[in-house]
Chain A
């Protein structure tokens, strides 16, 4: 494996960047922190416990991830919201003695305590801007803080103003990667240590690097593949990684937003989050086990909703594998995604499985097709008949044959994750006795399945879900849909992951060890 020696090398024998590494450098724009990243970052910097950004910042668009720079448009609304938040956070931080002490790092001896102001500026500034501050920057910010302290007649006035300034700094709001130009290769840059730290922390934590990680960056440790892998392992051991992986799975599998009453949606999301945490962290199992787990986390309310036996003690892990349910695909959250308003949509479910589990997306419908509606109700027909008739039309067959057969394999689970054996009247969910649900489906590979458990087993056994998971994680890491230029690097990552034990940590390891993780290609659009 080729490794880069950047910055920390003690000789001039630095190898030139091999062409495959140059080609693999991902094009990454200056990304704005997503709302979730903004909240996590502010929490870690200032001890703020309320997700104030979620309430005040314009929502992110999902593609399906929330960190795609292409969807981030500069706006008055964003800038005003950030300005208001910056002052609010500054005031709340300084008003709390414990948060204030942590942020300042010293106890000022009066409004003109220059040493304390400078200490605060340099230590907090490094955390906020995620890089060491130049001496001239420290001086400018210190002078500003002292001037504001003087006019406000208290050190805290100055500290608040400095905090508010740093929390609006473009280098706080955006992930800026300057890097150092690679000689003779236009538009490709080697990231600096602190910038590699930022890539690591926003991948694994969804938040900014802490002092320890920035120290490792400063020591040059992150310039080597081994150093990055070591740091990533440590980040994964922190509770922030649990939050991040939970958020990632909700976006990847699409259950971050569920079309239910908030209470039911939250209960289902909690069920899935519990499984993600248990399999990936508590049990430290290969990622594929997420799809094969026999137990699920049920509360009384959720068990009643699914018509499953009550859990012990009001909430516990329950083996549901005897009921055709194993793993995350059998949970209400996943089964609620990609439905119509009152009933499932085998077409949408099939499309969703292809997009997210197989990474075999279907092209958008041709221009003359109205793709919004399910086949209309016809008196005396069952749902499957109607879809079959639709698919018999040669104009529709081409695309629907790619999606519907997958979706019909999940038909015995309704749009709220409940088991059923008959079609039902959508408005009332009263079963239609003449329309038993067969519930058998077929994957593009030709393998037949019935129900989410068998679907899960198939996509695990043929390796497709593992590869598609890797693709989505890589996509999240670079912040945009894969382009042709990313394919070779993606293939390398997927191969490394395939040859590993298949744990999330193995995939992170494969990604961060690659030389491309420490490289950036200039974006041109």
Chain B
């Protein structure tokens, strides 16, 4: 482990962050538990390789408390009571020649790569099988509007896959979409741990007076500069056509948001939260297809824990690998494939190893969240963490039904599985739950988690209903 990943608690000589409600110091009295948090993680894989007859790689045997964890989820074994597995999920597929059903995919086997809209917003895919238009806000943005606005960042989007690796659309490289009529706008994720680190810590003043004064002065300079930039841009607006003006406005919205953040540094208060030393970004090799994704994922998870524990944000998304990911998985699992082609050309042995890598990253985040006490509970107990996959492992047919007698396909969105960790709102772990027929869309899992964190909604896009068994 590199020194850059070293963490330390405040008071041990490092930068001490302050926040009103959390005390980590083992000797201190119990503080009240913090707010609820909402996190979505995602891996761009299906649950079985084409034509492989062996079982769905994330489907447990048995249900309820006595289920058997599938081998691909082995990294989660020690955390069994911290999460539940939901199976039997599906995103419906249009019959050939017909439009997508509600919350479903357009007709065609390749609509698989473009079902961002159904999975994250609960809306149906629009247009043909290659259309990746997103028509509504993603679940995290709805939650951010409900519970995120009091913290410094209403939400934080992150991606561990360092590069799009040749993908040409931002929509398939992030999990977060902001409502922006008539379509939604993709939120570019943080990819650089260094950048995210500075975004997080630059708003928090050091505790010693001299450092704090210097930090305040730097913030004041940066704010003055941004203020000038914003002021000077006013006249430009009036000189642009409507489309360019809108582009400028969106840019300036972000400039002003940054200005506001610089203007409201968090003052040192009682209590402390978990901080890490400044990380070092792993090198990016966009052609080779691997850029230290494991290290990057761990650093981003550490920063996420920092942000959540210090209440810098309450809502986040962490995309491990993207839709139709072309990450070179050889360094991860010692098999010569790009992630997506592996599912077509290799077997469930290799794919199982790849899923295990993703489960290891999930396990790391769960462990970190569980390690931080918050009042009488832990940070994990105040969190709803949902892990979603790109695909399932049903048969593929150009009809709206999935026929179990047909060979199974990695381009299927039947037999999908989601993992829900954390205890926010009474979520409970330790079980395998088969989704009921009236709530078997992945968006039903998101809706359940939204309710758990205190952002209940009657629907996510076109999907209604929750999976009550997650609260049992």
Contact = CB atoms under 8 A, between A and B. Distances in A.
A307 B108 CA distance: 45
B113 to A, nearest CB: 9
A56 B195 contact: yes
B164 interface: yes
Contact of A523 (B130, B241, B250): B241
B96 interface: yes
Interface stretch (B279-287, B357-365, B376-384, B429-437): B279-287
A171 B289 CA distance: 34
B222 A148 contact: no
A462 interface: no
B286 A75 contact: no
B134 to A, nearest CB: 12
Contacts of B277: none
A71 interface: yes
Contacts of A119: none
B163 interface: yes
Given A77-B188, A187-B241, A61 B168 contact: yes
A19 interface: no
B186 A80 contact: no
B251 A79 contact: yes
Contacts of B344: 370, 372-373
A77 B241 contact: no
B78 interface: no
Given A79-B254, A161-B225, A165-B225, A265 B287 contact: yes
Given A80-B199, A261-B288, A523-B243, A341 B168 contact: no
Contacts of B244: 29-30, 523
A80 B345 contact: no
A87 B198 CA distance: 13
A165 B239 contact: no
A58 B192 CA distance: 9
B252 interface: yes
Most A CB atoms within 10 A — which of B128, B129, B170, B229? B229
A76 B186 CA distance: 11
B111 A367 contact: yes
Interface in A296-317: none
Given A29-B247, A74-B254, A79-B254, A170 B236 contact: yes
B71 interface: no
B170 A170 contact: no
A357 B222 CA distance: 49
B283 to A, nearest CB: 9
Interface stretch (A241-249, A252-260, A384-392, A447-455): A252-260
Given A75-B188, A170-B252, A341 B111 contact: no
Interface in A366-388: 366-374
What band does the interface of chain A fall in when counting residues whose beta carbon is under 8 Å from B? Answer: 35 or more
B436 to A, nearest CB: 31
B324 to A, nearest CB: 8
A170 B248 contact: yes
B241 A63 contact: no
A369 B130 CA distance: 12
A164 interface: yes
B198 A84 contact: yes
B258 A79 contact: yes
A490 B187 CA distance: 35
B167 A368 contact: no
A257 B109 CA distance: 28
B317 interface: no
A226 interface: no
B286 A59 contact: yes
A367 B110 contact: yes
Given A260-B287, A367-B109, A55 B281 contact: yes
B416 interface: no
Contacts of A176: 236, 240
A373 B236 contact: no
A169 interface: yes
A367 B96 contact: yes
Given A74-B251, A148-B224, A341-B338, A80 B195 contact: yes
B168 A63 contact: yes
A74 B250 contact: yes
28 contacts: A61-B167, A76-B254, A76-B257, A77-B189, A77-B190, A77-B195, A80-B258, A83-B226, A87-B225, A137-B232, A157-B221, A165-B228, A168-B229, A168-B255, A169-B232, A171-B236, A174-B247, A258-B287, A262-B288, A265-B287, A341-B337, A366-B108, A367-B108, A373-B50, A374-B345, A523-B243, A523-B244, A524-B242
List the 4 closest pairs (A to B, CB-CB), nearest first.
A367-B108, A75-B188, A257-B287, A74-B250
Given A78-B188, A87-B222, 16 more contacts: A58-B191, A61-B164, A76-B187, A78-B254, A80-B258, A83-B226, A157-B221, A168-B255, A260-B288, A262-B285, A341-B338, A366-B108, A367-B107, A370-B411, A373-B344, A523-B241
